[in-house]
Structure 1
Amino acid sequence: MTARTEPFTFHIGQDRLAGVLHLPATIPTAAVVTTGPLTSVKEQATGAYARALAERGFAALAFDHRTFGESEGEPRQFENPLGKADDIRAAVTALTADERTRELPVVAVGVCAGAGYMARAVADDPRIRAFAGIAGYYSDATAFPPDAAVLERGRAAEQRRRDTGVSETIPAVAEDAGDVAMPLREAYEYYGTPRGAVPNYTNGFAVQSLAYTGPFDAQAAAPRLSVPFLMVHSEHALAPALARKFFAAVPGTRAELWLESVGQIDFYDDSHLIDAATDAAAAHFRAGLDDPTHTLRPTAP
């Protein structure tokens, strides 16, 4: 199915957020709000999934969170999980008001860290009718509390910004790793090369983010999910044990699909993984909207 794109902008507070609405050729089944990996922008993983979902009959929004890409907000490159969950809820409000999508039910897709952020948003927002987490990183701050020195570094950086107005940043990725936000080699091979380094992307991470990412606990949202949940994961993606723990704690309708991947990052741009994940998500959303108590056939890990 052919899809087209149109600009989609909205506000949270005084900040203007920039997005792209991917639209199918036919009347959409639902509106999908997406969020993605650490430091990412709408032309990367969320754009790939939004485009694939539009090809499957959904109106899908990929947008730049506050402080990233074309969106406003300071300090730049500030990764704040709860702030991103607030952005998602603002996006839902915008989708329910926009003439292109206001008659549609809203469903949600989160990729990598975005699956944890989206879980929090879905748990807090009854307007979201179904949720799919793809290669999700479901952080567990209770079982794995943040390192005290890392937290202090983030808090010190935030205090310096308040005192001086200057925000300290480090690279998101680097070829030799080092002092970066994402030391995985496969992360550099995506964000640090033409494969993922799109013009709208900035290879940076505000150090004060460490005071917010470390304490964030995605697992706490699992028992509060009351809508149909689909988990798409891989044994080679990030933290499959945490994914299983999150899935087990979801009390309502749930389904899982385990795929074969090389690692985590190929979920961002491998067409075979994206197609399999979005086929499952599209079926999950349609079934959930028709019957919120539906059960998909799970694929055993």
Structure 2
Amino acid sequence: MTVSTVPFTFARADDQLVGTLYLPSGDPTAVAVTTGPLTSVKEQAAGVYAAALAERGFAALAFDHRTFGESEGVPRQLEDPVGKAADIGAAITALLADPRFIDKPVVALGVCAGGGYMSRAVADDPRVRAFAGVAGVYPDAAANPADPAVLERGRLARERRLETGVVETIPAVAADNGDVAMPLTEAFEYYGTSRGAVPNYTNGFAVESYEHTPVFDAQEAAARLAVPFLLVHSENALVPPWARKFYATVTSPKSELWLESVGQIDFYDDPRLIGQAADAAAELFRGVAG
């Protein structure tokens, strides 16, 4: 199916967020909102899955979250899971106000950390009709309390910014996996190379994000999901026990698809994994679109 793209902008509070809308050649079955991994932008995994859904007949939005990419917001590169869930809600509001989608059901897909963020957004928003998590990371904050030293590091960084205006950042990835947000070799091989480092991407992580990320709990959203849920995961992806616990807690209609991956990051750009995940998500979404 031929897919076209158009810009799509919307606001949350006083900040403009910038997205790309992927459109199928015919009347879309539904409209999907996507979100992606830690520090990512719309041209990476979220856009890849939005394009895959458009190829399967859905309109799909990938966007830069507040403080990332082309979107506004300060401090730059702030990773705030609850804030990202609020961004998703603002995106849904804007999509449903668009004349092209007024009568279309809204569905949701999250990749990696975006799976956890999307779970919170979907649990809190009755406008979403179905949710697919692809290689989702579903933090279990209750069982894994945050390190007080990490939280303190985030707090001090925020206080220094408020005093001086300077945003303290560390790299998102680095070859030596040192003081970085994602100390994974496979993450550097994606974000730190031409494989995934698109021009709109900044290899940075605001240190004050450590006030937000360690305390985020996606598991609490599992029992609150009221819509059909699809779990796509791999034994070699990140934290399968969290994925299993999340899935077991969901009480709404659910299905799971376990794929063979090399690790986590190949879910972002391996056509085989993307195709299988998108096929399963499209089947779920067609079911709720009626």
Instruction: Mark yes or no: TM-score above 0.5.
Output: yes
The percentage of counterpart residues that share the same residue type is 70
Work out whether 1:113 is the aligned partner of 2:113: yes
Give the structure 1 partner of residue 207 of structure 2: 207
Report the Cα offset of residue 32 of structure 1: 0.1
Report the Cα offset of residue 166 of structure 1: 1.0
Give the structure 2 partner of residue 298 of structure 1: none
| 1:189-228 mapped onto 2 (5 Å cutoff) | 189-228=189-228
| 1:113-132 mapped onto 2 (5 Å cutoff) | 113-132=113-132
Give the structure 1 partner of residue 6 of structure 2: 6
Give the structure 2 partner of residue 295 of structure 1: none
Give the structure 2 partner of residue 176 of structure 1: 176
Give the structure 1 partner of residue 251 of structure 2: 251
Matches of 1:249 and 1:155, distance apart in 2: 32
- Indicate conservation of the 8 Å contact 2:154/2:211, yes or no: yes
Q: Secondary structure at the match of 1:233?
A: strand
- Indicate conservation of the 8 Å contact 2:135/2:267, yes or no: yes
The ranges of structure 1 where at least 4 consecutive aligned residues each deviate by more than 4 angstroms after the TM superposition are none
Give the structure 1 partner of residue 65 of structure 2: 65
Report the Cα offset of residue 101 of structure 1: 1.9
Report the Cα offset of residue 103 of structure 1: 2.1
Matches of 2:207 and 2:101, distance apart in 1: 37
- Relative to structure 2, which stretch is displaced further, 180-189 or 102-111? 102-111
Give the structure 2 partner of residue 41 of structure 1: 41
- Indicate conservation of the 8 Å contact 2:150/2:210, yes or no: yes
Q: Secondary structure at the match of 2:150?
A: helix
TM-score with structure 2 length normalisation? 0.99
Counterpart AA for 1:55: E
Counterpart AA for 1:174: A
Report the Cα offset of residue 287 of structure 1: 1.4
| 1:1-301 mapped onto 2 (5 Å cutoff) | 1-290=1-290
Give the structure 2 partner of residue 294 of structure 1: none
Matches of 2:234 and 2:188, distance apart in 1: 20
Deviation by residue 1:196-250 (Cα, 9 ceiling, x = unmatched): 0000000000000011000000000000000000000000000001000000000
Stretches of structure 1 that go unaligned for 5 or more consecutive residues are: 291-301
Q: CA RMSD in A?
A: 0.6
Report the Cα offset of residue 100 of structure 1: 2.3
Deviation by residue 1:121-150 (Cα, 9 ceiling, x = unmatched): 000000000000000000000111111111
Matches of 1:212 and 1:101, distance apart in 2: 33
Q: Secondary structure at the match of 1:21?
A: strand
Say how many residue pairs are matched. 290
Q: Secondary structure at the match of 1:213?
A: coil
Matches of 1:246 and 1:189, distance apart in 2: 28
Report the Cα offset of residue 177 of structure 1: 1.0
- Indicate conservation of the 8 Å contact 2:29/2:289, yes or no: no
Matches of 2:149 and 2:281, distance apart in 1: 39
Give the structure 2 partner of residue 299 of structure 1: none
TM-score with structure 1 length normalisation? 0.96
